[in-house]
Amino acid sequence: MNFTEYQNLASSTAIYPKKYETIYPALGLCGEAGEVAEKVKKSIRDGLDYHEEKQFKEALTKELGDVLWYISALASDLDISLNDVAEGNIEKLSSRKKRNMIGGSGDDR
């Protein structure tokens, strides 16, 4: 599956009031990203080797799927292609890497 296929399929499951488009998926994205962070935090607390723990990976895979869904919904609400998001991000990171600027504060270097 590619990003276009995913975005089209995910859009068919986006059920929220039109008047809340953009804001609804933006808030959902924050919540789901928080759930990813919570799972990682708890794995540290519990002393899990989360690179090896199968149950952790399965749970995190589901949470990352939720993050992806909200990114897709937000992009769709703004008429942005996930392919364009992915390609633009790789171009930006590749440029930073070539210029030895891959680390930093996240500005538009």
13, 22, 26, 70, 95 from 79: Cα distances, Å: 16, 10, 14, 14, 26
Of the candidates 48, 30, 27, 52, the one whose C-alpha atom is nearest the C-alpha of residue 39 is: 48
**What's the whole-model pTM score?**
0.87
What's the number of CA atoms in the CB half-sphere (13 Å) around residue 40? 10
| Per-domain residue ranges of the chain | 3-81
Mean per-residue pLDDT over the chain, rounded: 92
Percent of the residues in the chain that have a pLDDT greater than 90, as a whole number: 76
pLDDT of residue 107: 61
Residues 51-64 have pLDDT tens digits of 778 888 999 999 99
Residues 79-109 have pLDDT tens digits of 999 999 999 999 999 999 999 888 766 566 5
pLDDT of residue 106: 59
Q: pLDDT band for position 20 (50/70/90)?
A: very high
- Domain topology for 3-81: Helix Hairpins (1.10.287)
Of the candidates 49, 50, 71, 72, the one whose C-alpha atom is nearest the C-alpha of residue 61 is: 50
Contact 100, 45 (CB under 8 A): no
